[in-house]
Amino acid sequence: MTFTPRAVIFDFDGTILDTESREFLHWQELYRTHGRELALSDWQRGIGTWGAFDPWAGLPDAVQADRENVHARLRDTLHADIAAQDVRPGVRAVLEGVRAHGLRLALATSSDRAWVTRWLEQHALLPLFEALATRDDVTRVKPDPELYVLAAQRLGVRAEDCIAVEDSFNGATAAVAAGMRVVVVPNDVTRTQPFPTAWARLDDGYAGGLDGLLAAAQGR
């Protein structure tokens, strides 16, 4: 049976703007400053969700005792780094192409609304989205499907008529649980996650443009 999508719903962190790789590198540097090593496999548990991994737990007691100051410095450095980054290569053309193709476009993210609107506005992408579903709007974030269900409702389309674009295992799990077709577009910190082979995957990112994304979702 031919799949004809009506909407595309994007994740944000790591999928549109790769904040995740930058955040991991900064935390990894903090660990090394204090003689510790932050394992990527541990970090991956918290990608795309909240509360699944606490990076503070692996730091010395002295650092945790000064957590407020350490976190403020880390946050400022990280935000300055992210502000200097561009969106992922090719994603702007895909987002613009979604609307030009007559498809609906929404965002479903476990981050809060202030965070995503800040960066979408900086990159002049916010007007492209008809609807946003953020952790401010739900009781359970990914891997629970609530964010994707809400995004589809706000577009007025059925979940099964949507393509979800994700970079992480938690995020893709949420999309599949909502009944959507998922296309995984991994980044440097998510590409080694255990994605099932049944999930469509674009290891070359958005190089194939919207046509490549649609073909992957349709199993071509």
11, 18, 161, 167: which one is catalytic? 11
Residue that is written with structure tokens 């100051």 in the block: 69
42 is catalytic: no
Task: Return the amino acid letter for 115.
Answer: W
Distance from C-alpha of 64 to C-alpha of 143, rounded to nearest angstrom: 28
Please identify every residue annotated as catalytic.
11, 13
